[in-house]
């Protein structure tokens, strides 16, 4: 099978790395890829927002299967266009992708299907939003309705903070994504993510992970796309897992199918484990970044037939096997991320950080001859397997310490909740 992966982040490097191990693969392309993906796939410089260019590449290279990574391409309907051109594609339809693209869409589905989530209201003007805020009080959560790279959410502990977030949103801080604002009840609990393949009718649950969204140690600082993760997340006990499938995942899959917009792709449920059970925080219509990095390290099965069966509606009968190990990843980011940061700083030692148990996935990197340069906010994902979360964490940081990059930073406490629980 000739496969094209779309994207350039750590998630896409991880997907490509895993796909590259499939005996079904004959040739792997990645567009546009990054400074690490060229070792396992052919990087193709391409503007992935231009769907006609993607289709032209599929035709020129006789691609059998396209795997779309990033949310922006899901929401833009790249999957629909690639399929319309006659190619198999792992990517939900634009209609089903609204699960991620519009928080209001997901909230309406939750109402319709009785899926447990935070109470909310939606506003298209500042005065009404502020009036609702004053009536509700704090803590409260303010969200830009559209996509904002994980940065459009303010968990406000005070009315003043919420007020500022509402004013910012309507003032255009998130562009068109902030033209509508969702105000939500604050849910108290621990967050966990569940990943489920869904072929429109059948599901194949993958696994759990816990991300660390804040920029700095101790879960402080601004929200980011994710600074580190581990998998599986033991906080999701078998009972909670089953409850989540029954009360969240299945109603979503059935609700979308009943609406005539079946979901085909990976369903990424962000959940809050509250005193009254698991409640949905949000859906993403694609794999997580950096959760994919830990998932692929743990996956013993061949990923390619699973992704293909998801896209073709033939998941029934497929199973997935995991290594009996934990995986943990940390993000090395350019100083300043998620705010403004420099580009072009040199990274040394990345190639020496890997070992039998450790793999370095690239995100915002670029090669310049023999030099490796940082090109983005999130830049490298040092990922390790271990028999415990602690062992995986120790292996990750041993890898990180081999990397010399004065312009970079990372969190030093990824996995802390689970380590605290297990008394480490
Ligand atoms: P989202 O982009 O919707 O995932 O929100 C980003 C982060 O904000 C989530 O991962 C949570 O940590 C937090 N968050 C979002 N909604 C709520 C909520 N209703 N209650 C508490 N925390 C929330
Ligand atoms: N790690 C968070 C995300 O992929 O949205």
pLDDT digits (tens, 9 = 90+) for 17-40: 999 999 999 999 999 999 999 999
Summarize pLDDT for 273-312 with one digit per residue, the tens: 999 999 999 999 999 999 999 999 999 999 999 999 999 9
Distance 14 CA to ligand 2 centre (A): 14
Distance CA 317, CA 202 (A): 10
Using a 6 Å CB cutoff, which residues line ligand 1? Answer: 118, 141, 143, 150, 153, 155, 184-187, 191, 213, 223, 270, 281-282
Tokens standing for 204? 């194949």
CATH topology of domain 2-91: Rossmann fold (3.40.50)
| CA-150 nearest atom, ligand 1 | 2
Site to substitute for ligand 2 among 225, 286, 292, 330, most atoms within 8 A of C-beta = 225
Q: What are phi and psi of 384, to 5 degrees?
A: -140, 155
Summarize pLDDT for 228-248 with one digit per residue, the tens: 999 999 999 999 999 999 999
8 A C-beta contact, residue 297 and residue 290: no
Distance 211 CA to ligand 1 centre (A): 12
Percent with pLDDT over 90 in the chain: 90
φ/ψ region of 16 (left if φ > 0, alpha if ψ in -120 to 50, else beta) reads alpha
* Widest distance between CA atoms in the chain: 60
Residue where the block lists tokens 């039998």: 356
User: Which residue is closest in CA terms to ligand 1's atom 16?
Assistant: 281
Site to substitute for ligand 1 among 282, 284, 285, 291, most atoms within 8 A of C-beta = 282
Helix H or strand E encompassing 199 = strand 190-199
Q: Where are the domains of the chain?
A: 2-91, 125-179, 190-312, 326-421
Q: Mean per-residue pLDDT for 329-352? A: 97
User: Which residue is closest in CA terms to ligand 2's atom 3?
Assistant: 288
Residue 151 has a pLDDT of 58
Distance 149 CA to ligand 2 centre (A): 9
Contacts of 39 (CB under 8 A, 6+ apart): none
| CA-152 nearest atom, ligand 1 | 2
- Residue 180 banded pLDDT, cuts 50, 70, 90: confident
Residue 317 has a pLDDT of 95
Tell how far CA 220 is from the center of its chain: 20
DSSP annotation string for 306-335: HHHHHHHT--TT----B-SSEEEEEEEEET
Residue 178 has a pLDDT of 58
Question: Is 125-179 in CATH node 3.30.1490.20?
Answer: yes
Residue 173 has a pLDDT of 73
Summarize pLDDT for 34-59 with one digit per residue, the tens: 999 999 999 999 999 999 999 999 99
Name the least confident of 11-20, 137-146, 299-308, 380-389.
137-146
Site to substitute for ligand 2 among 14, 15, 211, most atoms within 8 A of C-beta = 211
190-312 against 326-421: fold identical: no
Tokens standing for 151? 């940065």
Which CATH superfamily is 190-312 part of? ATP-grasp fold, B domain (3.30.470.20)
Distance 197 CA to ligand 2 centre (A): 16
Q: Checking DSSP bridges between strand 203-211 and strand 190-199, what pairing results, if any? A: antiparallel
| CA-187 nearest atom, ligand 1 | 20
Helix H or strand E encompassing 206 = strand 203-211
Residue 286 has a pLDDT of 98
Question: Is 326-421 in CATH node 3.40.50.720?
Answer: no
Q: Mean per-residue pLDDT for 259-283? A: 97
Distance 152 CA to ligand 2 centre (A): 13
Distance CA 143, CA 152 (A): 6
Strand ranges in 335-370 using DSSP code E only, listed in sequence order: 346-347, 358-362, 365-368
Residue 146 has pLDDT above 80, yes or no: no
Contacts of 136 (CB under 8 A, 6+ apart): 183, 185
User: Which residue is closest in CA terms to ligand 2's atom 4?
Assistant: 288
| CA-150 nearest atom, ligand 2 | 5
Query: 3-class SS at 169?
Result: helix
Site to substitute for ligand 2 among 14, 226, 285, most atoms within 8 A of C-beta = 226
Distance CA 294, CA 231 (A): 6
Q: Is this structure's pTM higher than 0.85?
A: yes
- Residue 145 banded pLDDT, cuts 50, 70, 90: confident
Summarize pLDDT for 78-96 with one digit per residue, the tens: 999 999 999 999 999 999 9
147 alpha carbon, closest ligand: 1
Name the least confident of 141-150, 206-215, 235-244, 357-366.
141-150
């Amino acid at each position: 099978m000739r496969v094209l992966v779309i994207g350039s982040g750590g998630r896409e490097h991880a997907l490509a790395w895993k796909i590259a191990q499939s005996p079904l693969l004959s040739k792997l392309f990645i567009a546009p890829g990054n400074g690490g993906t060229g070792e396992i796939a052919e990087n193709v410089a391409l503007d992935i927002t231009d769907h006609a260019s993607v289709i032209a590449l599929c035709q020129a290279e006789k691609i059998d299967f396209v795997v779309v990574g990033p949310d922006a391409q899901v929401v833009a309907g790249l999957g629909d266009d690639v399929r319309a051109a006659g190619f198999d594609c792992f990517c939900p339809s634009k209609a089903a992708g609204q699960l991620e693209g519009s928080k209001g869409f997901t909230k309406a589905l939750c109402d319709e299907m009785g899926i447990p989530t935070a109470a909310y209201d939606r506003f298209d003007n500042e005065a009404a939003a502020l009036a609702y805020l004053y009536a509700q009080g704090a803590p409260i959560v303010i969200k830009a309705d559209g996509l904002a790279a994980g940065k459009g959410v303010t968990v406000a502990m005070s009315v003043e903070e919420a007020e500022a977030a509402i004013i910012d949103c309507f003032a255009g801080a998130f562009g068109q994504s902030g033209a509508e604002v969702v105000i939500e009840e604050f849910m108290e609990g621990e967050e966990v993510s569940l990943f489920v393949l869904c072929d429109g009718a059948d599901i194949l649950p993958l696994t759990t992970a816990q991300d660390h969204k804040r920029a700095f140690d101790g879960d402080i600082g601004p929200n980011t796309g994710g600074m580190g993760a581990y998998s599986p997340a033991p906080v999701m006990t078998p009972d909670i897992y089953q409850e989540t499938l029954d009360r969240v995942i299945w109603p979503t899959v059935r609700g979308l199918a009943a609406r005539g917009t079946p979901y085909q792709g990976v369903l990424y449920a962000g959940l809050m484990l509250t005193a009254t059970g698991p409640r949905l925080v949000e859906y993403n219509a694609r794999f997580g970044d950096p959760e994919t990095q830990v998932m692929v390290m743990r996956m013993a099965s061949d990923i390619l037939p699973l992704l293909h069966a998801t896209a073709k509606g033939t998941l029934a009968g497929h199973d997935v096997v995991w290594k009996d190990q934990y995986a943990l990843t940390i993000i090395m980011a350019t100083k300043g991320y998620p705010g403004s940061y420099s580009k072009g700083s040199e990274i040394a030692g990345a190639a020496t950080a890997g070992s039998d148990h450790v793999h370095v996935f690239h995100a915002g990197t670029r090669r310049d001859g023999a030099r490796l340069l940082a090109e983005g906010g999130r830049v490298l994902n040092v990922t390790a397997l271990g028999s415990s979360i602690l062992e995986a964490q120790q292996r990750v940081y041993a890898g990180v310490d081999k990397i010399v990059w004065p312009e970079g930073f990372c969190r030093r406490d990824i996995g802390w909740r689970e380590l605290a629980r297990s008394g480490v």
